Each structure stands twice: as C-alpha cells, then as structure tokens.
Structure 1
C-alpha cells in the first residue's frame, strides 16, 4: 500500500515537471522575443534563466520517471545525484549571468525600452511560478526528495528574478531609475549561490553504490 501511494505521488510529481517544462519553454520564447525587440538585457537574461529552468526540470523528470519505471535503487540514487548536480550547476550559471549582466548594465547605464509583451509574460509568471513552487515543495516533502525541494528553490529564484525585472522595468518607465533593475537583480546572487552549494553538497553525499 505504501509503495502504491508513493508511485501515485511520483506520477503527480512527474506531471508537475511536464507542466513546468511546457510553461518554461513558453517563457523562453516570449521573453527572448520581447527582450530582443525592446533591447532589454533584463528580459533577455530572464529568458536565458528560463532555458536553465527547462534543463533542470527535464533532468528531474528523468529521475522521477526512472523510479516510476522501477529501475534499481542504485540507479535511482545515481539519477538523484546527477539531478542535484544539474540543479547546482544551474544555480551557478544563473548567478554568473546575473552578475555579469547587472554589472554591465550599471557600467553602461543601459535603459531598456518599454515592452508590453514582456510585461504580460512577467505578470503571468507571477501567477504560475508560485503554483509550481507550492506543488514542488508539497510533493518534495511527501516523497522526501531533496532534488525536488532544490528544484522548488530554483523556481523561487526565477520568481524573485521576475519581481526584480518587472520592478526594474516599471521603475525605469515611471521613475526614471535606470539603475533599479540591475541592482535588484544582484540581490538574487547570494541566495542562488547558497542554494546551489546546498544542492551540490546533497548530491555529493548520495551514494549510487549497491
């Protein structure tokens, strides 16, 4: 009975990752179009962050699917280790890009143009991402899945970055604060590095031996 409940929860968690992948692909396409047409480095960076989200969610789907298919325990642990390393690497890449992009914008005093399409996808993400975070945490706790919980934190960073980019664009538009976006984005970096290191340590502590 316990195994049946776990398998049911695994299937729901896998479905959540599918929804996550589909939505993040939409985010990537829309935000990059909006970013390149408006000249907004923030929107382009946000779109590239969504690419990393797609990779992370796809890797986690692979790990969950393996357990559902009944692969050996050592192979499940191996997939858990790989998933956590991918998540850790994603945090590192996000931190590096945000730092580079934000400092470059501060030095060059770049001011993005207004993008209605960009604002729309940012507002939609403010609704979608909290829902994804809630269910990832819920099933991460039910399944005692460190990698699913780590992925929920990755999505939280995406949500935080969404707020920062949206706030920056609105501040530039209505207050003339060209520096607001890069400064807000830089606040993400310490949190991202901390969670990335945590995911790396959890992955390193998993043994894939029989």
Structure 2
C-alpha cells in the first residue's frame, strides 16, 4: 500500500493552520460577546442580548475545536494505530451540543419576553452594534471558510458554518431593533430573538448530523460512487466485489475487494492494485487505501457491479 502523497510534515502544518482559524474565531467571539451582552442588557435589546449569549457559547465551541485540532496532530501510537484524527470530529460533535443548549435557552427567553405585557424600546446604539457585529463575522467567516477548504479541515469548516450563522443572527437582531425603534413594533425585537434561537438550533443540528454520520462510519454515497467509477475504470479490473469508505477526521480510508483475471501472476495483480491505490490517494482527502485482489469467477458475486 503506497503512502499518502501528502507528507506527515505537511499534514502537521495544515493542522497548525487550522488552529489559527480557531484562534481567530475565539478572539472575535470574546470581543463581540462582551460588547453585545453589555450593550444588549443596558440598551434593553433581547435580540442583541441573545446574540451575545450565542457568541459566548461560540467561544466554548471554538475552544473545543482548537483542542480537537491539537489532539488530532498527535502521531499514531500503540493505542491509536490509525492516529488521533477523529479527535477533530469529536470536537465538532461537542461544539454542536454546546450550540444546541444555547438555542434552547435563547428560545425560552424569547417566549417569556413575548408573554410580558410591558413593551420595551431598545436604545439606538444596540442597532449599530448588531450591524457592526455582522460585518466582523462576515470577515471571520470568509477567513475560516477559505482556510477550511484549503486544508480540508472538517472542524474548521463547521466553525465557518457557525460563523455564517452568526452573520444571519446579527442581521436578524438588527432588523428586530430597527422595527422596534422606527415603526414602534416592540414585539419584533423578542420575535427576532426567537429567530436567532431557531438559526442557532438549525446550525447545531447540521453540524451534529455531519459529525454523527462520520463517527458512525457513514460516508457520502455520491463520493463513494465516484471512487467506484475510478476503480471500475482501472485497467485489469473485471469486477468490484466490495467497496467501503469512512472518514477518519478530515482523511478518508478506502477498502475494496476487486476481481482480476485469474491467469495473472501475483506480481501483475499487485501492479493493478498499486495503480488503483496511487490514483485514489492522489485525491487529496484519501489518506489510506486497502485493495484486496481475488481471481475473477463469473459465478461468484454475479449480482455485483461488473466492468
């Protein structure tokens, strides 16, 4: 089995780059959560205060991602023969749970605010703080999205998705405050707090689903079909008898059983499997490929896909 085309040193450097993205998020969230909680409380804006709570928990989620990326950099050892890359997925999983708990708290607070008979008009400063926060998070989202795609980091892309949701949350808070100040729609501010809670819940679910799917060895069917097409198109492959793939952090491990002409020598069969492995590993995400070769017999696995 050939080694990955990406060296361990390059992978370690990529993980370090991912940590930079987590630190950028932590710094932004520390500043914005402090600003929003302070202004939201004293300016009487439920939507802005809810947004501040969201950012406060985003700090914890970003720290979890940072820890996961740090652990994922550790090399394989006696207890972890495949390395520690799944720590990245576990960190993403933890971040989703944190976000979900905040969503419940924000939604409950928004419902209670709507049930109160006294209308409260937010201070105009809260409107500008919400708009400023949206602008900051657009920059953070752009940075983490580009970096996450460049280094193929599942955790950093999840962080970018959270950053994008935070842009919508801040814009929602801005709309609620404007409606309350300009049109006298006092109910709009707590309603937008509810919208904030729903956006947080939706983002948490999407991140949770992706992480849970990876941890349970789920794999995208479209990507698996693409891998299958590569193997089927390889010279000497007469049949694919089994094909599996799973994620290990941001890497992909592929296992396949192929059938070749039974008259081929061991060396010739090994050459076919080596060619397939080299082609698949050239795909940046795929870290490890295991190809098992069997002699082709038409009566065996007749229901399987054949070339």
Structure 1 residue aligned with 2:34, among 21, 29, 37?
A: 29
The RMSD of aligned alpha carbons is: 2.5
* Counterpart for residue 206 of structure 1: 215
- Offset at residue 23 of structure 1 (A): 1.7
Tell me, yes or no, if the aligned pair for 2:127 and 2:174 is still in contact at 8 Å: yes
- Offset at residue 188 of structure 1 (A): 4.4
Higher helix share: 1
- CA 1:194–1:121 in 2, change beyond 3 Å: closer, same or farther? closer
Structure 1 residue aligned with 2:6, among 2, 17, 20?
A: 2
Q: Which digits, 9 at most, give the CA deviation of each residue in 1:62-101, with x for residues without a partner?
A: 1222344x34354331x22321222211331232123212
In the alignment, is residue 172 of structure 1 matched against residue 166 of structure 2?
no
Residues paired across the two proteins, number: 205
- CA 1:30–1:198 in 2, change beyond 3 Å: closer, same or farther? closer
Tell me, yes or no, if the aligned pair for 1:28 and 1:48 is still in contact at 8 Å: yes
Q: Which digits, 9 at most, give the CA deviation of each residue in 1:23-43, with x for residues without a partner?
A: 211112211211222232222
Please report the TM-score for the alignment, with normalisation by the length of structure 1: 0.83
Q: Which moved more, 1:137-146 or 1:18-27?
A: 137-146
* Counterpart for residue 123 of structure 2: 114
Instruction: List alignment gaps of at least 5 residues for structure 1.
Output: none
Q: Distance in 2 between matches of 1:115 and 1:5?
A: 49
- Offset at residue 50 of structure 1 (A): 0.9
Larger Rg: 2
In the alignment, is residue 147 of structure 1 matched against residue 147 of structure 2?
no
Q: Distance in 2 between matches of 1:86 and 1:139?
A: 21
Please report the TM-score for the alignment, with normalisation by the length of structure 2: 0.59
Instruction: List alignment gaps of at least 5 residues for structure 2.
Output: 77-81, 217-247, 249-307
The SS at the match of 1:2 is coil
Q: Which moved more, 1:186-195 or 1:132-141?
A: 186-195
The SS at the match of 2:167 is helix
Q: Distance in 1 between matches of 2:205 and 2:134?
A: 26
- CA 1:190–1:29 in 2, change beyond 3 Å: closer, same or farther? closer
Q: More relative contact order in 1 or in 2 (CA 8 Å, sep 6+)? A: 1
